[in-house]
Each structure stands twice: as C-alpha cells, then as structure tokens.
Amino acid sequence: MANDKPIKRAGNTFSDVLKENLPHGAPKPTIIKKNEPKKIKSIFRYDQKIDMSQYRDVSFKHLLYGGKKTSLKRLCQNGSDRKIDIPWAQFQGDHMNALYKLAHDLDGCIYIRKDDHRARITYLIFSKIEDSLNVMQRTFSHNLKEIEMYQTEKLEEDIIVLYIPNLGDVDILTLLNLIKDTLEPISEIIDISALCRKGLTEFLPYGVKILLKKKNADSIIPSFLDYEYGKINIFYRVFKEACSYCKQEGHWKSNCEFLKNKSRKIQKKNQNETIDQTYDQIKGTNEADIEPDVQSGADEPSIGDQKPPNFLVSKQKR
C-alpha cells in the first residue's frame, strides 16, 4: 500500500552548519543598508589629452620679417616651387577618394601625380609655376575637412633642419627674436614652423622646426638659444649625402664626378671653338692684305702678280 503522508524534511546538515546557513535553526541575519545618495559621474576627465587632429604645422616666418603668410615648405628630393606635397595621414585611409576629388577640382591645370607609397605622400608636379602658386592660395576640402598641402624645398648640402622639442614658458614672439639674434648671422632662414590650431592662432609649446641654409660650410650651429631665464635646447638632423644629378648616394651634387666630367668636356669644347675662331680671324686678315686694291684700278697688277725682269733676253738683242 502506497504511503500517502508527505515526506518529512531533513534537518540541518553538517555542510549547512559549516557555511553558517541557518546554524542550529537560528534565523538568517539581516543587513541594514543606509540610504546613501547616488554618485553622479563627472563629465570632466582629468586624463583627457589634446586632440592632435585639430592642429597642423604652419609657417609663421611672416611674424619675424613681416608680409603675408606663406605656405609651409618641406624638404624633398628635387623639390621646387612647382612641386606640392600632400601627406596621406590626414585622410585616415581614404586618400584615393580624396585625390580623385582633388583631380576634378584641379581640372585645367597641367601636372604630374607621383605617389610615394613608402613615405605615404603624393606629389603634384606642375608644368607652370603660376598654377602651383594659385593652387597653394586656394582651399580644397574632403569630407568637410581642409586638405593640407605643402610646398617643397630642394635638399642641398648646406640646408639643415633644426628641432626645438620644448619651448618652456617662452612665447612665440620672444622665440622669433632669439632665432633672429642667434641664427641669422650664420645662416639664411628659409622657413619656421610650429603646431597651430586650425583656423586659430593658438600654438603648442613643442614641435618647432627651423629650415635654414648655412652661409658658410664651416659655420657651427649652436646647441641652444640663450635667454634671460634659461636656455632652449636645439637639435638638428644631418641628412645622408645624396646627389640630385646622378641619383647616387655618398656625395653631394657639388662633388659629383659625372657633373665635373661633363663640365670639363664643355670647357674643352669651348676652348677648341675659340681656337678655331681665332685661327679663322688670323687667316682672314692675311687674305685681306694680299687682295688687290679695287679702288686704284683693276689694270694695275698686285705685288704677288709681278714677274722679275728677264736679263738674258735683253743681252741677246744687243
């Protein structure tokens, strides 16, 4: 016969006692929570950094010498005023569409497009210098952002790029005066650049670059700019020797043997031509002295045509 009575529940086991779950039938302790106000998350972040995409390298040489603001120049092999530099980093992987749109905006200008996949840069080499200058004065955009374009400067033996990693508490105008007093006597300042907020005049105290050309190859570049309250360190980069004529490394264009041999051949050719010209002039003057005098009469014989008298014939007649 089946047992219709409910099964009796077992008492507390040994495991429950060890876990302090209802030991010996004691009630479960209650935890009283205090009513504390909820914490509101702060919108301001103390570790928030500057958005560097809002800054770009700009030229502020005009603040030193006056005049209009010019576009920034970058060093490039065979750089010139007709060659424009467009870096790909500003497009965030969409450089092909950006350059395609730029090509439509430059319709009418004759130029060559050259892509450097290693440096991730596109060069536009214009046939006319007027077209390149007009392009630098115009503003082109892609995805509602201005396209950064730079002019190029030819890499030569005496050109050096100086880096100032940190300005400290020195302002921009004071820095320009220090550069003028320290570097202008020994070099020609081509351009000065710094990180500036796009569309504004807010500069960052680091990333200043100075492009200059030494007046003398033996002149020494100082290691710092000395001012009233301290010093500003200067670092410069030594470029690898590369000839822009023969496209070979290990020497500059001034020491290129191919160019020297070519100049020697041209000089030798010019010397031979001058020798031939002087010989023809001397020969022409001698022939002019022998020619008969047309004004005195054509019947009179010249000195070269006269024959000596024949004395033998005169004696036989006698």
For 228-243, the three-class secondary structure string (H helix, E strand, C coil) is: CCEEEECEEECCCCEC
State residue 84's pLDDT score: 93
Q: HSE (CB half, 13 Å, CA atoms) of 215?
A: 7
Average the pLDDT over 144-157 and give the result: 84
pLDDT single digits (tens) 249-282: 666 666 677 777 777 777 767 776 776 666 666 6
Given this structure, which CATH class describes domain 159-238? alpha beta
Tell me what percent of the residues of the chain surpass a pLDDT of 90.
22
Is 125 a residue whose pLDDT tops 90?
Answer: yes
Q: Give the pLDDT band (50/70/90) at residue 199.
A: confident
Average the pLDDT over 176-196 and give the result: 90
Report residue 12 as tokens.
């507390």
Q: Are 99 and 122 in contact (CB under 8 A)?
A: yes
Q: Give the pLDDT band (50/70/90) at residue 21.
A: low
State residue 8's pLDDT score: 55
Q: Which segment, 47-61, 62-76, 117-131, 142-156, is predicted with the most confidence on average?
A: 117-131
State residue 145's pLDDT score: 87
Distance between CA 3 and CA 245 in Å, rounded?
111
Distance between CA 274 and CA 268 in Å, rounded?
10
**Domain 78-154: which topology?**
Alpha-Beta Plaits (3.30.70)
State residue 81's pLDDT score: 86
State residue 98's pLDDT score: 92
Average pLDDT of the residues of the chain: 77
Is 294 a residue whose pLDDT tops 60?
Answer: no
Is 4 a residue whose pLDDT tops 50?
Answer: yes
Tokens 């065979």 correspond to 78
Q: Give the pLDDT band (50/70/90) at residue 39.
A: low
Tokens 């005169």 correspond to 314
Same fold yes or no, 78-154 and 159-238:
yes
> What residues have CB less than 8 Å from 286, skipping those under 6 apart?
none
Distance between CA 89 and CA 141 in Å, rounded?
15
Greater model confidence, 146 or 296: 146
Is 307 a residue whose pLDDT tops 60?
Answer: no
Name the strand (E) or helix (H) holding 182. Answer: helix 172-183
State residue 127's pLDDT score: 92
Q: Are 88 and 121 in contact (CB under 8 A)?
A: yes
Q: Give the pLDDT band (50/70/90) at residue 315.
A: very low
Sign of CA dihedral 46, 52, 58, 61: positive
Is 232 a residue whose pLDDT tops 60?
Answer: yes
Greater model confidence, 211 or 158: 211
Report residue 48 as tokens.
């928030």
Residue 210, beta-bridge partner list: 162, 192
162-182 burial string, b = 16+ CB within 10 Å, else e? bebeebeebebeebbebbeeb
Q: What does the radius of gyration of the chain's CA atoms come to, in whole angstroms?
A: 44
Residue 125, beta-bridge partner list: 83, 112
State residue 244's pLDDT score: 61
The strand pair at 73-76 and 150-154 is best described as parallel
Greater model confidence, 60 or 239: 60
Q: Is 130 exposed, middle or buried (0-12, 13-18, 19+ CB in 10 A)?
A: exposed
State residue 313's pLDDT score: 46
Greater model confidence, 64 or 249: 64
Q: Which segment, 5-19, 56-70, 155-169, 175-189, is predicted with the most confidence on average?
A: 175-189
Task: Indicate the domain borders of the chain.
Answer: 78-154, 159-238, 240-271
Neighbours of 58 (CB within 10 A): 19
